[in-house]
Structure 1
């Protein structure tokens, strides 16, 4: 079994029942994907799997053959942040920051599918990503800012 994470090919020996979350954090050493609830309800572990936002705690290693995965570490760089990452910083979204990698990955997937979302579309797409600090208005503002930046 082999799969790509952030552009790098990997073919580790894995228990097929190991969640992708643990593959990323423990096997590949990518700690940006956070463990929140373990049942796919909070969104802290959101990554892109073949271009779609998924909960890494709910995807099994046995289903990864040929997959392309992007984590927060592969979305952008400090020198060239993804538009969503730049908007997050400019809008000062994060408070505690724990949920933010999952929030950013979900927002990036939203904008890839819907480049100019309405507030209702933003709220619907982000509704499964929980923020215990309640920064939802800033999250929506950052997504609007990223969408506007991409348009311009």
Structure 2
């Protein structure tokens, strides 16, 4: 397993993976930024695509994913991939899509265990009342990501 660290507007992002795909992308404030010329070949595309996302040039990711999780978690993460860029969905709506409205807490828990920050867009899942609820990277990051993906940018008055 190889690891690199890239600088993003939301802090230092850690990317883990190998030739089988990217297994984890996490946000934080720790880690030494990796030199792009030293990125392992199997992590290079993920770094490039994340940089393009933050520059506003990319709305979907195409590199190979390989997250570790239970069968149920994998099912939830796969459903998250279907939430379009710039859109949100409630935990209840996601539970309905997965076929069991009563599984809302399990869906929320699986969402919270998502190891692929941004790429598997758990930040696009909100409360039924539109509130920003639960986000492992911090609610301020979730708000930033949703604002970044919003096609209608709020203009400042001053």
User: Could you state the TM-score of these two structures normalised by the residue count of structure 2?
Assistant: 0.27
Q: Greater share of strand residues, 1 or 2?
A: 2
User: Could you state the TM-score of these two structures normalised by the residue count of structure 1?
Assistant: 0.28
Greater relative CO, 1 or 2 (CA 8 Å, sep 6+):
1
Return the index of the structure with the highest Cα Rg: 2
Q: Greater share of helix residues, 1 or 2?
A: 1
